[in-house]
Amino acid sequence: MIQVPLFAALLLALSPPADPPADDILHVEMKPLEDGVAREREVTGLGSLLRSVFGGAEEGMVRRGELVLDGKTFAIYLPEKESYSHVNEGENDSHHRNTATRLSVDADGDGHLTRDEAWYANLPIRIGDRMVEVVDLAPDGSRIDLRVSVTPLRGLVMGRKCPPFQLETSDGEKLTLDDFRGKTLILDVWSVT
């Protein structure tokens, strides 16, 4: 079984393209939505669990903007709120305590927002093959300013193909993605910190 060497190689293969200068701010104008778009609600407690079972499991989005990054266009959505903020005033960053706005990025472009496409505005956000940080979020939700982050790529994008990779195992065997073509590949990612 390949464990750490494969993980390290995949991290290198998933590295984003060269970053734009760190001081480049990406401005996203957020416009009110004409038609309703909803996102699956996060199940965070008994109340939200009951909503997910008995209805009301979706949260309405009221604002939408578009960001072009690395030649691809991504839709960003904001939920209905009285005021928006990229600051977490909660006890920690857990989904139970985080008070920052939870925005959504339609990562797969299907127009359906899932829980894994939701990100807290005070934490790095995956857009395509990059991580970005919210620099500013207008309280009225009319604008989001982003900057490319140096945070390692994270977050799941369902349906994405594994990028090409090349690695050497601890036994000296050289492997590429093509060596696994037509086979099931299970990655056992673990860490001791």
- On whether both 32 and 10 belong to a single domain, the answer is no
- On whether both 8 and 69 belong to a single domain, the answer is no
Across residues 124-133, what is the average pLDDT?
A: 92
**Cα 34 → chain centroid:** 25
- On whether both 78 and 99 belong to a single domain, the answer is yes
- On whether both 48 and 126 belong to a single domain, the answer is yes
| 65 has a pLDDT exceeding 90 | yes
Q: What is the pLDDT of residue 99?
A: 93
Q: How many domains does the chain have?
A: 2
Q: What is the pLDDT of residue 28?
A: 96
- For residue 90, the enclosing domain spans 25-148
- On whether both 8 and 81 belong to a single domain, the answer is no
| 160 has a pLDDT exceeding 80 | no
CB-based contact 113:61 (threshold 8 Å): yes
- On whether both 32 and 49 belong to a single domain, the answer is yes
Percent of the chain scored above 70 by pLDDT?
71
Distance CA 10, CA 85 (A): 34
Q: What is the pLDDT of residue 155?
A: 75
Distance CA 81, CA 100 (A): 11
- On whether both 132 and 167 belong to a single domain, the answer is no
Q: Which of 75-89, 111-125, 150-164 has the lowest mean pLDDT?
A: 150-164
The contacts of residue 118 (CB under 8 Å, 6+ apart) are: 39, 42, 102, 103, 104
Q: For residue 94, what are the CA distances in angstroms to 44, 71, 89, 98, 100? A: 10, 33, 12, 6, 11
Percent of the chain scored above 90 by pLDDT?
39
- On whether both 12 and 31 belong to a single domain, the answer is no
Distance CA 171, CA 25 (A): 45
Q: Which of 19-23, 128-132, 136-140 has the lowest mean pLDDT?
A: 19-23
For residue 141, what pLDDT band results from cuts at 50, 70 and 90?
Answer: very high
For residue 143, what pLDDT band results from cuts at 50, 70 and 90?
Answer: very high
Distance CA 89, CA 63 (A): 23
Q: What is the pLDDT of residue 192?
A: 62
- On whether both 140 and 191 belong to a single domain, the answer is no
The model carries a pTM of: 0.68
